[in-house]
Structure 1
Amino acid sequence: MALAWTDSLNNIDWAELSALYQAAGMGLKQPDDLATAFANSRYRCFVFEAGQLIGAGRALADGVDCSYLCDIAVRPADQGRGLGRQIVGRLVDCSRQYRKIILYAVPGKEDFYGQFGFRRMSTAMAIFENPADAEARGLLR
């Protein structure tokens, strides 16, 4: 079946995207929050098969210095097909003119992102809404 790729927000079912993130183990992201986050992102990538959303990702960017890739997910049944690689590749290509491209990875995915040239930062820090949960998920030390 042919894949349909788009960066358009038109016709995105935000509840379907929320379900995709939950199925991919990225927690509960409310549909309204996703609509806001994707609308405020400079770059977006959605992939559909037979009219069903099977992958997505986005990048926040300031226009000059930094692009931050985030919320990259592929439906579990479709993982292993290279879709995640293609989503990241598209977002990296959109971000090539920036001085730095940043992302933070789910623990264990560092090698996947390393193939695009991402390297571990020694100075990255974060403030999480729920630091205990972030620690439990391996995102904070």
Structure 2
Amino acid sequence: MSLRILQDCTNIDWELVKETLKRVNMGYFDAETHKKAFENSYTVIFIFDEDKLVGFGRALSDGAYQAALYDIAVIPEYQGQGIGSMIVEGLLERIPSCNVILYAAVGKEKFYQKLNFRRLKTGMGLFKNSLLMQSKGFTE
């Protein structure tokens, strides 16, 4: 494995980003929406094995004290090899003074707990499709 880290949106195949999110059972939109989301983020990270995109993530932040991680995904055949941790740690390095929140894909909570994330007792969400989010286990 020859991993390469990219911390900008140069030459990204946004259709592949969409397909990756779909493959790992995360929320996804059309390629152009993902392009806009990543380009408007505070920081991004893409991990390649040679020229193959194997994982990515992004953070929204005020750059002072609050941030949120989104769209952290690693293609299934590369999971369990430390790439997810590289993504999270790479994002956190760019927001060192911030409190960080995220909502994990159902079943991935233990991965984030290993990286020192803890469950929120007062977390709340307002979703465009609240019934879908409830059926997927994100809300009560």
Which TM-score tier does this pair reach, normalised by the shorter chain?
over 0.9
1:76 Cα deviation (Å)? 0.7
Identity, % of aligned positions? 37
| Structure 2 counterpart of 1:116, one-letter code | L
* 1:30 pairs with 2:30: yes
Look up the match of 1:80: 80
Report how many residues are paired: 140
Residue 50 of structure 1, CA deviation: 2.7
Give the equivalent residue in structure 2 for 1:126: 125
* TM-score using structure 1 length: 0.94
Offset, 1:29: 2.1
Unpaired stretches in structure 1, ≥5 consecutive residues: none
TM-score, normalised via structure 2 length: 0.95
The Cα RMSD (Å) is: 1.1
Amino acid corresponding to residue 124 of structure 2 in structure 1: M
Correspondence list, 1:87-106, <5 A? 87-98=87-98, 100-106=99-105
Spell out structure 1 runs of 4+ moving beyond 6 A.
none
**Counterparts of 1:120 and 1:21, CA distance in 2:** 23
TM-fit CA distance, 1:45: 0.5
Asked if residue 15 in structure 1 is aligned to residue 15 in structure 2, the reply is yes
Q: Which runs of 5+ in 2 are unaligned?
A: none
The one-letter amino acid paired with 1:138 is: G
Residue by residue, what CA displacement relative to the aligned partner does 1:46-94 show, whole Å, maximum 9, x if unpaired?
A: 0111311110000000121201011000001111111111111111222
